[in-house]
């Protein structure tokens, strides 16, 4: 007599395989995503969309980092990156660098750092 079969774990690898259609990583413009990249919805969810795509569009009405989005959806980075690649390709979301490109080479704002230091010293 064989042991009874356990139902598949809905939060396991099978779920990730189904969510991504078997893809293991993003391609195209999504390959440059990192955990600090900000995601912003460009469109509202439409009927018939994959549930996770709908959730991403709902949660990203205001900019949300990939790390925060992954925590809210309880998805690993590579799985979330595949889903974001789908939405980026369909022009449903926008990916923004957390630091504007024109400020990237300047370094930190010293006045802001001094204000923060002063506030911490007052605590």
- Token digits for 1? 């007599």
pTM: 0.65
- By the 10 Å C-beta count (0-12 exposed, 13-18 middle, 19+ buried), 11 is classed as exposed
d(CA 53, CA 19) in angstroms, rounded, equals 10
Positions in the chain whose pLDDT score sits under 50: 1, 4-9
Residues with Cβ within 8 Å of 40's Cβ and at least 6 positions away in sequence, in order, are 60, 61, 62, 63, 64, 93, 94, 96
Q: How far apart are the first and last CA of the chain?
A: 69
pLDDT tens digits, 102-115: 555 566 677 777 88
CB 75 within 8 A of CB 18: no
Q: Please report the pLDDT score of residue 57 as a whole number.
A: 96
d(CA 65, CA 52) in angstroms, rounded, equals 16
CB 39 within 8 A of CB 66: yes
State which H helix or E strand residue 96 sits in. Answer: strand 93-96
Q: Please report the pLDDT score of residue 41 as a whole number.
A: 95
| Cα 68 versus chain centre, distance | 7
């Amino acid at each position: 007599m064989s042991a009874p079969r356990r139902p598949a774990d809905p939060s396991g690898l099978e779920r990730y395989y189904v969510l991504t259609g078997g893809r293991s990583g993003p391609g195209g413009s999504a390959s440059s995503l990192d955990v600090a990249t900000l995601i912003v919805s460009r469109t509202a969810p439409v009927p018939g969309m994959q549930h996770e795509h709908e959730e991403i569009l709902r949660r990203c009405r205001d900019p949300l980092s990939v790390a925060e989005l992954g925590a809210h959806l309880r998805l690993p980075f590579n799985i979330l990156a595949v889903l974001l690649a789908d939405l980026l390709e369909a022009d449903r979301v926008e990916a923004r660098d957390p630091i504007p490109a024109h400020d990237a080479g300047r370094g930190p704002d010293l006045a802001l750092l001094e204000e923060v230091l002063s506030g911490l010293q007052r605590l």
